[in-house]
Amino acid sequence: MSSLQPVRGTHDLLPDDARRHRKVEETAFACARRYGFGEIVTPIFEFTDVFARTLGETSDVVTKEMYTFADRSGESLTLRPEGTAGVARAFISGGLAQSLPLKLFYRGPMFRHERPQKGRLRQFHQVGVELLGVESPLADVEVIALAWRVLSELGLASKVRLEINTLGDAESREAYRNTLVAYLSQFRDALSEDSRNRLDRNPLRILDSKDEGDRRIVENAPLMSDSLSPAAREFFTQVTDGLHALGIPFILNPKLVRGLDYYCHTAFEFTTTELGAQGTVLAGGRYDELIATMGGPRTPGIGWAAGVERLSMLVGEVADEARPVSVIPMGDAMAAMVVAERLRRIGRSVEMGFSGNMKKRMARANKVNARFAVILGEEEAARNAVTIRDLDTSTQDEVPLAQLEEYLGRLL
């Protein structure tokens, strides 16, 4: 029955998938802690205005992709499509302006009504960081360095490349906006309907258009780098010099933009060629005006978010770090359960062989990649002992029950 299938654009995380996801999330969090970031957990849904303000009323996410609904009191609520807005809202509502600078890490599910494809789901997962309260370009360097550290420790350094650009300061963006509108206005009739609507309100978003006709027009558009103020140019130079100093490789991508007005200065993406069209695995940028746009005090910020599904596809198979011990009862099953519980109490992962003959239970032990099998048959029980079989070498010893924990402790 179709009603018993996962909703389109969602999927179940079975143990192998969940293990990869956990590897990505825990690696990211461990790295973030090394850089001084603490974890923040925001609600999965917020008042719709939180996202409408931050993502822009004309953005595709707001107009086409958000899961928005009215609750029983008539309030408009939205499942979070991304993490930054919720963190910014928490900063304002929590009165955290006195705690700056703030370094925050988040993880969890996000929701967008997009066309599902490889690496892109309607319920997907992200890890991300936000550094609030630091205007220095050193903050940009540190945040990018953290991203590079996460990807490196996942073994992905050779599979991704860092693309970086500057969006300049307010003066630069105003100059670029005027130049860009003058260029695009020549092609107004050839632009897609969405881009025509954005031409006067948010022309930078046209640079992100997926329409093939728009892309051909944008190909020859003027570059932001031609409109940079001296201050913006110096800011970006300090960022790139910092990346050079840390040995982080990057390429300049003058076409890389963020379409919303509160983005400024550094924009960056880590991309790969191994996932088809969904090439971006981690993206971020500086947003010094975001919190002010939401009604809070002007607070500089920079951050990034990474797609856990896409990263886990690149990571590939992940083995359990701690291989279990398989307890196999061939006599008194309850006595074997007592043995299993003894091992669990000292921190061992134990797989209980519940049923089947010896061959089937050993096959199960091998399937779960057990390191040792603890066999408790009638003869062992009579001698108050167990047989411990090394499943890697096929050797075995009989061990008194009283010495079980000590014996396995030496082996493991």
- Could you list the residues known to form a binding site for L-histidine, using ranges: 82-84, 112, 126, 130, 258, 262-263
**In angstroms, rounded to a whole number, what is the distance separating the alpha carbons of residues 340 and 349?**
9
- Structure-block tokens of residue 68: 């928005």
**In angstroms, rounded to a whole number, what is the distance separating the alpha carbons of residues 62 and 357?**
59
User: Residue 8 phi/psi, 5° resolution?
Assistant: -55, 130
CA nearest neighbour of 267 among 283, 249, 290, 251: 283
Which residues participate in the annotated binding site?
82-84, 112, 126, 130, 258, 262-263
Burial of 74 (0-12, 13-18, 19+ CB in 10 A): exposed
Other CB atoms within 10 Å distance of the CB of residue 127: 26
Q: Which residue has the tokens 């010893």?
A: 397
List the beta strands (DSSP E) in 215-298.
251-252, 264-271, 280-286
Angle subtended at Cα 138 by Cα 134 and Cα 139, rounded to the nearest 5 degrees? 45
Distances in Å between the Cα of 144 and the Cα atoms of 58, 68, 90, 240, 265 are: 29, 33, 23, 11, 13
